[in-house]
Amino acid sequence: MEIPYRSRSTLKEIIFVRHAESQANLDGVWNGRTDGPLSSHGEESLDALGKRLSDWEYDVVVSSPLERAQKTARSFSTDFQIDEDFTEIDLGRWEGMKREEIRAKHGDELDEAISSRTAPMGGTGESLAEAGRRALTAVDRLAESLGEDRKAVVVTHGGFLQAVLHRHMAGRDHRAHAFTSNTAITRVVWQYGRPRLASFNDTGHFGPRSHLVEANLAEGNPVLALIRHGRTRANVEMRWQGRGDWDLDDLGRRQAKALGDWYGQASIVYSSPLKRASSTAGYMAVNGVVAVDDLKEVSMGNWEGLTTAEIAERWPKELETIFREGVDLRRGETGESWGELTSRVSNAVRGLKHAADEPTIVVAHGGAIRAYISSLTMTSDTHAESLFTPANTSVSHVAITERGPEILDYAVATHLESLE
Q: What is the pLDDT of residues 343-401, one digit of tens each?
A: 999 999 999 999 989 999 999 999 999 999 999 999 877 888 999 999 999 999 999 99
CB-neighbour burial class of residue 305 (10 A; exposed 0-12, middle 13-18, buried 19+): middle
227: left (phi over 0), alpha (psi -120 to 50) or beta: beta
State how far the Cα of 258 lies from the Cα of 289, in Å rounded to an integer: 18
Q: Which amino acid is at 106?
A: H
Q: Residue 420: what pLDDT? A: 63
Active site positions, annotated = 229, 297
Question: Does residue 2 register a pLDDT over 50?
Answer: no
Domains and CATH numbers, the chain: 12-204 (3.40.50.1240), 210-416 (3.40.50.1240)
Contact 190, 196 (CB under 8 A): yes
CA dist 254 → 55, 162, 280, 419 (Å): 20, 35, 10, 8
The H or E element spanning position 54 is none
Q: What is the SS3 assignment for 381?
A: coil
The H or E element spanning position 360 is strand 360-364
pTM, two decimals, is 0.94
Angle, vertex CA 178, rays to CA 174 and CA 183, nearest 5: 150
Mean pLDDT of the region 19-44: 95
Which pLDDT band, with edges at 50, 70 and 90, does 276 fall under? Answer: very high
Q: Residue 324: what pLDDT? A: 87
Closest CA to 379 of 176, 215, 232: 176
What is the dihedral angle through the alpha carbons of 95, 98, 104, 106, rounded to the nearest 10 degrees?
20
Contact 33, 90 (CB under 8 A): yes
Mean pLDDT of the region 88-94: 95
The pairing of beta strand 12-18 with beta strand 185-191: antiparallel
